[in-house]
């Protein structure tokens, strides 16, 4: 494989959307087992992966597939039990279940709740537990703090600890490395090596991403960086980028996710401008992106998921004066309010109005509710008196009722006056609007519907997309 100090290429233009890059082929020969792994090329040791969740388990499976002995660590006994039975507990990641099964059968993958024992048996400890936001939108490090405390007693001379969880800039060096050094009495960057290497995985494509995107690595010193780069070079088929410091790697991860948040905020602002001009923002963005320096994303009801709504706040935690970053967060979070006001202008007061929200997860195809814009949307609709139902192909009736709204069974006739699409699920193209004889408005929150499919008697509103002739609500003409 290749370890470089700079990425060798930036890839093709995204042209404002997403693309699939071809995965790199695996060129690794079967490794030699090293009793105490120290980074020698062609060798493999034992790695503990602390946090065997949606991103941790794919990492564990990937490492095992490249000849490493892997110990998955998790606080949930059910997760540990499933892995020890050779089963994946995450159902949305192509290829992971097969790798988990084969790794278990080969004896290279086991799981435990004992983090200290796992760290004691391991040459490398990869920590990937969540850092989210508290009620004040500040970093909530409780899970990470607990994980660091749990592995400390097992660390030994020669241990390499790598943080893959996205962290505020400086946390690797100033918060966690000193804690590990204090509990072990080992000298940092000599006897105890510590590095940061952010996961760059997209739900539903984790294994493919691991073989595609350059792996960024930055240590607290040169020895830590070199050892961490050697580890990833032995388990990944992508390019390894050894950066100058842990801080550079931390900031790089925050930069790429914050870029997307700012870009989407720009798209939402352009949608407002397009509405005023009577233009179609989709046409505008497509035309702008035909110039290779323009990569404008798409507007919508806002941004959900574990990453993009969270990581800008991790950046702001250390640099609160970054005005553009803070403004982008306000713009994107404000899109639910923009949608609500548009709906009210169209149908009037919402008291008693039956509304159907299509799409509850944060995006179509991913069974995850983290920061889904459906949740504040439903709350706001209810606050204004609406009766709200919801449907998501990924959620059962019980799951829908528990999280947010009454369940609407697909295809059932219903007296909805408003339908809102919150995700761009392809199933919405199968909607038969005859199911809703009282329908007054379709609010297309992801610009994913064909307005021409909406009955002429029903108003259509998108995000920066003009209604077909004669279909715009009279109050917003």
Could you give the residue numbers annotated as active site? 253, 307
Closest by CA to 201, choosing from 245, 257, 267, is 257
Q: Are strands 43-44 and 32-33 parallel, antiparallel or unpaired?
A: parallel
What would the two tokens of residue 266 be? 């720009």
Residue with the two structure tokens 């962290």: 167
Nearest Cα neighbor of 53 from 35, 80, 26 is 80
Beta sheet of 46-50, edge-to-edge order:
3-4, 240-242, 215-219, 193-196, 160-163, 124-127, 46-50, 69-73, 109-112
DSSP helix/strand/coil, 264: helix
β-sheet bridge partners, residue 421: 358, 444
From 390, 455, 446, select the one nearest 419 (Cα to Cα): 390
Joined together, the tokens standing for residue 420 give 């809102």
Q: What's the CA gap between 69 and 362, in Å, rounded?
A: 35
Q: Within a 10 A sphere around the Cβ of 78, how many other Cβ atoms?
A: 9
Give the single-character DSSP code of 417.
S
């Amino acid at each position: 494989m290749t370890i470089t100090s700079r990425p060798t290429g930036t890839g093709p233009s995204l042209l404002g959307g997403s693309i699939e890059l071809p995965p790199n082929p695996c060129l690794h020969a079967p490794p030699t087992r090293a009793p105490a792994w120290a980074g020698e090329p062609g060798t493999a040791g034992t790695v503990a992966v602390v946090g065997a969740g949606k991103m941790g388990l794919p990492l564990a499976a990937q490492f095992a597939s490249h000849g490493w002995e892997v110990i998955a660590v998790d606080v949930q006994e059910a997760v540990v039990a499933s892995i020890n039975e050779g089963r994946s507990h995450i159902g949305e990641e192509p290829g992971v279940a097969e790798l988990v099964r084969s790794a278990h059968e080969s004896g290279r993958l086991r799981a435990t709740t004992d983090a200290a024992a796992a760290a004691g048996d391991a040459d490398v400890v990869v920590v990937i537990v969540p850092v989210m936001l508290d009620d004040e939108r500040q970093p909530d490090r409780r899970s990470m703090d607990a994980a660091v405390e749990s592995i400390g007693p097992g660390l030994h001379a020669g241990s390499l600890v790598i943080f893959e969880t996205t962290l505020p800039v400086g946390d690797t060096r100033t918060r966690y490395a000193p804690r590990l050094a204090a509990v072990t009495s080992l000298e940092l960057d000599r006897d105890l090596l510590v590095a940061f290497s952010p996961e760059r995985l997209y739900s539903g494509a984790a294994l493919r991403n691991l073989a595609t995107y350059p792996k960024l690595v930055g240590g607290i010193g040169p020895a830590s960086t070199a050892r961490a780069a050697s580890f990833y070079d032995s388990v990944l088929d992508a390019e390894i980028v050894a950066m100058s410091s842990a801080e550079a790697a931390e900031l790089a991860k925050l930069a790429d996710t914050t870029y997307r948040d700012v870009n989407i905020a720009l798209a939402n602002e352009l949608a407002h401008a397009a509405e005023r001009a009577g233009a179609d923002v989709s046409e505008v963005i497509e035309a702008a992106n035909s110039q290779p320096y323009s990569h404008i994303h798409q507007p919508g009801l806002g941004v959900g998921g574990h990453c993009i709504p969270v990581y800008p706040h991790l950046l702001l935690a250390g640099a609160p004066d970054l005005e553009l970053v803070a403004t982008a967060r306000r713009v994107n979070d404000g899109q639910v309010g923009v949608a609500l006001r548009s709906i009210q202008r169209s149908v009037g007061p919402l008291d008693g109005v039956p509304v159907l929200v299509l799409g509850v997860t944060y995006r179509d195809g991913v069974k995850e509710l983290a920061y889904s814009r459906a949740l504040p949307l439903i709350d706001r609709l209810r606050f204004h008196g609406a009766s709200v139902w919801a449907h998501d192909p990924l959620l059962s009736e019980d799951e829908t009722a528990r999280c947010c709204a009454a369940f609407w069974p697909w295809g059932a006739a219903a007296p909805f006056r408003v339908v809102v699409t919150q995700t761009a699920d392809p199933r919405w193209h199968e909607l038969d609007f005859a199911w809703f004889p009282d329908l007054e408005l379709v609010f297309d929150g992801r610009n994913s519907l064909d307005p021409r499919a909406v009955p002429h008697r029903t108003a259509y509103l998108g995000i920066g997309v003009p209604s077909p002739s004669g279909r715009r609500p009279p109050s917003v003409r």
